[in-house]
């Protein structure tokens, strides 16, 4: 559940962006990100996670630029930047060998398994699936920006399917990875 809470800034951003506007959405996303970081710093046994730190930097930087620089971004252009930023964060955790899901899995898995090849492989696969979901969202954003004749519902459907697929996979795969290969 805490991995889904880490995406709260993106949900808040999307809701406020749709209801009020992109700058307000970025500020709301930044404030939500900061609240999650403060919660982790102040809660015993919790530490800030790479995804949450990256999210705070992404929303904080974009909100600051939106407020001070007053860019002429469309709502879709802001969404593209947010989705691409999330993709970069997730790919970055894979590149440094610390898949973002690993920090969340350590909260549920005994420490004896943390350094096992299976634990790392499972988290690498799950993180890669999340990266694929975010790539789908970036492509959907690009399609909606550069192909204005495409109905916006296409982007919504692609986003929902990508996220639901990643969530379902995250719940399913760890148990599947525990089973020995047949044959």
Per-residue model confidence as pLDDT tens digits over 146-170 = 999 999 999 989 999 999 999 999 9
Q: Report how far residue 97's alpha carbon sits from residue 84's, in angstroms, rounded to the nearest whole number.
A: 20
What is the pLDDT at residue 18?
86
DSSP3 helix / strand / coil % (the chain, rounded to 5):
80, 0, 20
What is the pLDDT at residue 181?
52
Average pLDDT over residues 64-68: 93
Least confident of 7-11, 69-73, 141-145: 69-73
Task: Classify residue 88 as exposed, middle or buried by CB count within 10 Å of its CB (0-12, 13-18, 19+).
Answer: middle
- Backbone conformation region of residue 45, classed left if phi is above 0, alpha if psi is from -120 to 50, else beta: left
183: confidence class by pLDDT, cuts 50, 70, 90:
very low
């Amino acid at each position: 559940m805490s991995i889904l809470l880490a995406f709260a800034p993106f949900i808040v951003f999307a809701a406020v962006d749709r209801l009020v506007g992109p700058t307000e959405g970025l500020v709301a996303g930044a404030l939500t990100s900061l609240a999650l970081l403060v919660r982790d710093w102040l809660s015993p046994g919790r530490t800030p996670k790479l995804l949450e730190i990256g999210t705070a930097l992404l929303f904080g930087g974009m909100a600051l630029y939106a407020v001070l620089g007053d860019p002429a971004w469309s709502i879709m252009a802001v969404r593209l930047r947010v989705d691409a930023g999330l993709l970069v964060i997730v790919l970055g955790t894979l590149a440094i060998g610390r898949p973002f899901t690993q920090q969340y899995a350590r909260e549920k898995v005994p420490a004896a398994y943390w350094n096992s090849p299976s634990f790392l492989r499972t988290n690498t696969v799950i993180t890669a699936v999340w990266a694929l979901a975010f790539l789908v969202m970036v492509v959907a954003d690009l399609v909606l920006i550069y192909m204005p004749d495409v109905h916006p519902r296409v982007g919504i459907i692609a986003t929902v399917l990508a996220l639901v697929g990643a969530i379902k996979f995250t719940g399913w795969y760890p148990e599947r990875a525990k089973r020995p290969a047949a044959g």
